[in-house]
Amino acid sequence: MAEITGIADITDPTDVAAVTVNGAPLPLDGVTPHTTALDFLRDRGLTGAKEGCAEGECGACCVLVARPPADGSPGAEWTSINACLVSAASLSGQEVVTSEGLGTPADLHPVQREMAERGGSQCGYCTPGFVCSMAAEFYRADRVPTPSTNGTRPVDTGGNGFDLHALTGNLCRCTGYRPIRDAAYALTEPAADDPLAVRRHAPAPTATPTRIDADGATFVRPEGLSDALRILADGEATPVAGATDLGVEINLRGSRPSLLLAIDRLEALRELRWADDELRIGAALTLTEIERRLAGRVPVLDELFWQFASRPVRNGATLGGNLGTGSPIGDSAPVLLALDADVVLVSTGGERRVPLADYFTGYRTSVRRAEELIKEVVVPLPLAPLTAFHKVAKRRYDDISSVAVGFALDVADGVVRSARIGLGGVAATPLRARATENTLTGRPWTDETVDAAAAVLASEGTPIDDQRSSARYRSAMLGQALRRLFAEVSGDE
């Protein structure tokens, strides 16, 4: 392995590294860079969190981590994450609470008590994960009674401000969910002296430079972007943020990168900036952070986020990671293509800005070079007046797209002035539906135009047959997506 440079304060791999779990420090001695937080916790007797799927879909592994509030406000926020995906090394210096740390049989936490009293647990395998995700929502500082919809996605609350979308990443085979929902709706505000509620008023732990060497591999958390880029220039490092994709590769496909480069807390990749002509979104901001900080100002992104995996996944997943994998079924690309977004790539040699429509070059390949990171995504302003995101999948939440379509249209005086349509799941890469855009542009926004354009849209891409759907179904859903958009805009049931 090439010598690791750029980390002046972390040169000795024997430096003490530890994670605080349920109030006590647990050393990371002997932990490999590929050891998941879940295995680390279970090896130390904290067996409440369990492995169900090893890919962040079932939520049995959920734990709480103290992080800066997603909306950028001061203090800390208890955040539910999938312990099966993140490495234990990535939690060095952080504070974690497991289901065991919430309460005891003699002194149940309010969430645990409501789950028990309302029959929210049967076999119990998934219950600790549910309890942690429910506790994260229980401690959400801005949890107040909300209406049944926020205008961009349905919100299911029971009058206590508990958003059931917090539990979309937790699956249960036994209860049928109603008792779990009842437990969530029965929760009141945390007590004033609740230690985890009090903890929110102090800053979250910072992510300090870290280096861990074990089993022939290295985990490095650099101090800043320049250090990260120098390490990346050696050509052997694998960047990792939320690990929602890499964690699956490690767990299920045996991937063992020799050098993991943590970029999730680099401040230069975590800015969100508005200007008169553009919006810049840092590549290492989590989807939850973007959602909370945008606060509805980009409605089509709100439509995307609530359909993107689950809350625990969105608490780790980043736009940079979703685009960086180059997956043809990544949910963010169709929306960002419709918004005519660019990506900013950065290396030790400087920055370059690439239109997202030119970014993907083949199946999971792109113009990004090995020594480059995605720094930010740039969305031009003003936004198109008519935007939408349609996702077709076997489940409404927490599922992979069969087809995904992003729309951005400017319709004025009954005429389509401009049209941009991004597609996912119908080719080796995400792509723009150029032929359909040309069919719509300059024509009246009518049934006849939409039907003609829908026929063109159904022929875009090169869909295939696989376990999620057939090529014929994918093509049909493309055409229906445009007809559905027209019906929604026209108020036609």
- Please, where are the H alpha helices in 234-331? 246-253, 287-294, 299-305, 311-314, 319-324
Q: Clarify whether residues 450 and 419 are in a common domain.
A: yes
Locate tokens 């985990």: which residue?
Answer: 219
CATH code (residue 288): 3.30.465.10
Mean pLDDT computed over 115-138: 96
Which residues lie below 8 Å from residue 320, measured CB to CB, with a gap of 6+? 241, 269, 282, 283, 284, 373, 374, 375, 377
Q: What are 367's strand-pairing partners?
A: none
Q: Which pLDDT score, from 0 to 100, does residue 100 have? A: 97
pLDDT band at 5 (very low <50, low <70, confident <90, very high): very low
Range of the domain at 40: 1-265
How do residues 223-241 score in pLDDT, each as one tens digit? 999 999 999 998 789 999 9
Q: Clarify whether residues 207 and 253 are in a common domain.
A: yes
Q: Clarify whether residues 146 and 3 are in a common domain.
A: yes
For every residue of 41-93, DSSP letters joined together read: HHHTT--SS--SSSSSSS-TTEEEEEE--TTS-SS-EEEEEETTTSBSGGGTT
Which residues lie below 8 Å from residue 431, measured CB to CB, with a gap of 6+? 337, 357, 360, 422, 423, 460, 461
How do residues 103-123 score in pLDDT, each as one tens digit? 999 999 999 999 999 999 999
- Whether residue 154 has a cis bond before it, omega within 30° of 0: no
Q: Clarify whether residues 204 and 301 are in a common domain.
A: no
What's the whole-number average pLDDT of the chain?
Answer: 93
Q: Clarify whether residues 348 and 317 are in a common domain.
A: yes
Alpha-carbon dihedral sign for residues 117, 122, 126, 128: positive
Mean pLDDT computed over 436-441: 98
> Quick check: 149 pLDDT over 70?
no
How do residues 238-294 score in pLDDT, each as one tens digit? 999 999 999 999 999 999 999 999 999 999 999 999 999 999 999 999 999 999 999
Q: Clarify whether residues 60 and 109 are in a common domain.
A: yes
Q: Clarify whether residues 304 and 168 are in a common domain.
A: no
The answer to whether 310 and 55 are in contact (CB under 8 A) is no
What is the chain's percent helix, strand, coil content, to nearest 5?
30, 25, 50
Which candidate, 66, 32, 56, 331, places its Cα nearest to that of 199?
66
For the entire predicted model, the pTM comes to 0.94
Q: Which pLDDT score, from 0 to 100, does residue 144 have? A: 60
pLDDT band at 398 (very low <50, low <70, confident <90, very high): confident
CA separation, residue 285 to residues 24, 244, 264, 370, 456 (Å): 29, 14, 8, 21, 36
Q: Three-state SS for 352?
A: strand
Which residues lie below 8 Å from residue 388, measured CB to CB, with a gap of 6+? 300, 303, 406, 407, 485, 488
Q: Clarify whether residues 372 and 391 are in a common domain.
A: no
Query: Which of 265, 295, 329 is the last residue in one of the domains?
Result: 265
Q: Which pLDDT score, from 0 to 100, does residue 161 have? A: 87
Q: Which helix (H) or strand (E) holds 135?
A: helix 127-138
Please calculate the CA angle 202-207-213 and round it to the nearest 5 degrees: 145
Query: Which of 350, 380, 410 is the last residue in one of the domains?
Result: 380
Q: Clarify whether residues 352 and 474 are in a common domain.
A: no
CATH code (residue 191): 1.10.150.120
The answer to whether 432 and 357 are in contact (CB under 8 A) is yes
CA–CA gap between residue 317 and residue 241 (Å, rounded): 7
Mean pLDDT computed over 183-203: 96
> Quick check: 11 pLDDT over 50?
no
Q: Which pLDDT score, from 0 to 100, does residue 90 have? A: 97
Joined together, the tokens standing for residue 316 give 């780790």
Q: Clarify whether residues 150 and 43 are in a common domain.
A: yes
Q: Clarify whether residues 245 and 307 are in a common domain.
A: no
CA–CA gap between residue 25 and residue 96 (Å, rounded): 10
Joined together, the tokens standing for residue 384 give 């198109």
> Quick check: 147 pLDDT over 50?
no
Helices (H) and strands (E) in the chain, counts: 16, 20
CATH code (residue 457): 3.30.390.50
pLDDT band at 158 (very low <50, low <70, confident <90, very high): confident
Give all strands of the β-sheet with 62-67 in edge-to-edge order. Answer: 24-27, 18-21, 95-97, 62-67, 77-82
CA separation, residue 422 to residues 80, 153, 407 (Å): 31, 20, 7
pLDDT band at 395 (very low <50, low <70, confident <90, very high): confident
pLDDT band at 190 (very low <50, low <70, confident <90, very high): very high
Q: Clarify whether residues 90 and 235 are in a common domain.
A: yes
Query: Which of 265, 290, 325 is the last residue in one of the domains?
Result: 265
For every residue of 171-193, DSSP letters joined together read: --SSS-SHHHHHHHHH--PPPTT
CA–CA gap between residue 68 and residue 203 (Å, rounded): 7
Number of domains in the chain: 3
Q: Which helix (H) or strand (E) holds 432?
A: strand 431-432
Which candidate, 324, 245, 238, places its Cα nearest to that of 86?
245
